[in-house]
Structure 1
């Protein structure tokens, strides 16, 4: 009898290990565009879901349901209030005010905007580390999720799309809450020139964040996106690499190079190398003819809430470089820096 109990206990332990030390139940929610018709080129469409307000949910994985031939990229926003009460609306960040008879226009979020997930270039599924999840619902400022899909090209009449993401979630409390901070720039890339777009922000909150994944994002001109933690010391700055990737590869969340915790007064910094082979300058903007310089850092906090700061943006070139930043950096990495 005792040996039987031992075998049952052993099988239970093995089953837990086989599930990646996750002994809790995982459910899946299909968050997809409701068969929308992109009626013009360079269209951004948003659709919302309301999180049950009296329960806590922890999203622990993201499985994309999209193809780069259909969707240029997708963003998943957490919102306190969605940008519209419509089931679908036009939500480009830098759009004209032209009248669209098909969709009303609004931002993804009306209040409490933060990035939860991003996808492009046929990036694969993202699974968070054990005991890490994005808290949503009752005890979180995230009361809604808004899915934004960028469609580069108009669809033919009668053809619709249901791109989106399968959310893997649990109601089991996760001791480690996940968060994302987005580093990016504005700016201009001159014609026939390699430009370096840079941004940096000091962490002013008394929190310890544990980085575990990063994601690069540019359009066609980007050749490298790199992120760093700058640790200030009396003897000089220490630049610690978080990650560096060619953004023309699948724009997935990659494991960070260093998981050393980031604390108050550390600086997060990012650089995009842009090679503009065109005969005209290119601005940062929302369309495929424009550019973007984005470095997403995903992290977790232990028995705490994520950073209040969700974004870190600079004016970009020709107005901002690390050499002109208010932090007065030294030991700045060489512009020919290249890791992966």
Structure 2
């Protein structure tokens, strides 16, 4: 299908494939277009072009999928999609895989994570007057849905999994954003490994956290995220933002703290991994690999979201909280890896 036809089709979809929920709110179903996963561990992406002369505010997400079919889904906002096709192979870290589809990243430019889902997670409704702004005046000119299919489908089966987006054109005074804390690294066999990330807020903005989500594959035991407040005397206050067993539904949960996070504060994440395998496990996209992700959803009041969308570190054995340039004090080593310490 030619690119020009795809562009036209996507505009028509967004104009007419919407259901009114109220006079203000509408629903748009962003679904896979009857795809047939023909191999295990397949990542597929499908795009929608946002109307170029309008601004929209996404205020809720309703997953339309089950973990029996889909391993996980991520909704990206992009300035330019990875491909201008109905769908494509977007297994970002997979190499040497035979496929009849072209391969590309979810986004070619301006990648933002807006939402992620796994393990039969429930819907998410944003707080009052909070929304993800997309369209005119923003970097989000396309929405791209990425779906990870862990297993190939029987010959005659197709899939329309996806996400229902609740949106409005009424401006929100509080704009939402997401920061993804993640690591690379290696998990040795027969032991416990900490995978740790940290980044300083170096923009003169104040963000207000309200939801978090954890994600690992099968080795994750605990994922925790913190705001580290630093003072000139070298004291670090570790404020717990969220902590969870990543084997529970991987939805966005309310943050433990809603205190503002400011310039100079540090965001820090840890995944506690336990391996009984006889081999090293590396960070990668399949169930034989691992991931360490802590998503922090926040809003800004009367400002624009952070330019920082991703916070990544090399992970073990190269990067740990204890050996960073920040010289952290008062590291909550037990609390960060112990679910029993949750009040």
TM-score (norm 2): 0.91
Tell me the distance in 2 between the aligned counterparts of 1:315 and 1:95.
19
Tell me the distance in 2 between the aligned counterparts of 1:239 and 1:71.
35
- How far 1:43 sits from its partner (Å)? 0.1
- How far 1:98 sits from its partner (Å)? 3.5
For structure 2, the 5+ residue unaligned runs are 1-21
Q: Write out aligned runs for 1:209-224 (5 A).
A: 209-224=207-222
Confirm or deny that 1:189 pairs with 2:187.
yes
Counterpart in the other structure of 1:35: 34
Counterpart in the other structure of 2:58: 59
Secondary structure, counterpart of 2:330 in structure 1: coil
Counterpart in the other structure of 1:142: 140
For structure 1, the 5+ residue unaligned runs are 1-22
Q: Write out aligned runs for 1:280-291 (5 A).
A: 280-291=279-290
- How far 1:245 sits from its partner (Å)? 0.4
- Between structure 1 and structure 2, the one with the greater Rg is 1
Confirm or deny that 1:227 pairs with 2:197.
no
- What's the C-alpha RMSD, in Å, of the aligned pairs? 1.3
What per-residue deviation string (whole Å, max 9, x for no partner) do you get for residues 319-340 of structure 1?
A: 0000001111111112454234
Secondary structure, counterpart of 1:139 in structure 2: coil
Confirm or deny that 1:269 pairs with 2:268.
yes
What per-residue deviation string (whole Å, max 9, x for no partner) do you get for residues 270-307 of structure 1?
A: 00000101111111101111000000000000111100
**Residues 24 and 170 of structure 1 are in contact (CA less than 8 Å); yes or no, is this contact kept in structure 2?**
no
Among residues 172, 175, 182, which one is paired with 2:173 in the alignment?
175
- How far 1:51 sits from its partner (Å)? 0.3
Tell me the distance in 2 between the aligned counterparts of 1:235 and 1:97.
48
Q: Which runs of 4+ in 1 moved over 3 A?
A: none
- How far 1:235 sits from its partner (Å)? 4.7
Secondary structure, counterpart of 1:270 in structure 2: strand
Q: Write out aligned runs for 1:82-161 (5 A).
A: 82-101=81-100, 103-161=101-159
- How far 1:24 sits from its partner (Å)? 6.3
Secondary structure, counterpart of 2:36 in structure 1: coil
Counterpart in the other structure of 1:18: none
**Residues 45 and 90 of structure 1 are in contact (CA less than 8 Å); yes or no, is this contact kept in structure 2?**
yes
TM-score (norm 1): 0.92
**Residues 234 and 329 of structure 2 are in contact (CA less than 8 Å); yes or no, is this contact kept in structure 1?**
no
Counterpart in the other structure of 1:81: 80
Tell me the distance in 2 between the aligned counterparts of 1:241 and 1:209.
15
**Residues 24 and 172 of structure 1 are in contact (CA less than 8 Å); yes or no, is this contact kept in structure 2?**
no
- How far 1:149 sits from its partner (Å)? 0.2
What per-residue deviation string (whole Å, max 9, x for no partner) do you get for residues 130-156 of structure 1?
A: 000000001211000000000000111
* Structure 1 stretch displaced more, 83-92 or 329-338: 329-338
Tell me the distance in 1 between the aligned counterparts of 2:136 and 2:185.
39
Secondary structure, counterpart of 1:29 in structure 2: strand
Work out the number of aligned pairs and report it.
318
- How far 1:250 sits from its partner (Å)? 0.3
Tell me the distance in 2 between the aligned counterparts of 1:186 and 1:32.
30
Tell me the distance in 2 between the aligned counterparts of 1:213 and 1:147.
21
Tell me the distance in 2 between the aligned counterparts of 1:240 and 1:48.
38
Counterpart in the other structure of 2:70: 71
Tell me the distance in 2 between the aligned counterparts of 1:151 and 1:98.
15
**Residues 183 and 312 of structure 2 are in contact (CA less than 8 Å); yes or no, is this contact kept in structure 1?**
yes
- How far 1:253 sits from its partner (Å)? 0.3
- How far 1:97 sits from its partner (Å)? 3.7
Secondary structure, counterpart of 2:240 in structure 1: strand
Secondary structure, counterpart of 1:225 in structure 2: strand
- How far 1:25 sits from its partner (Å)? 1.0
Tell me the distance in 2 between the aligned counterparts of 1:153 and 1:235.
50
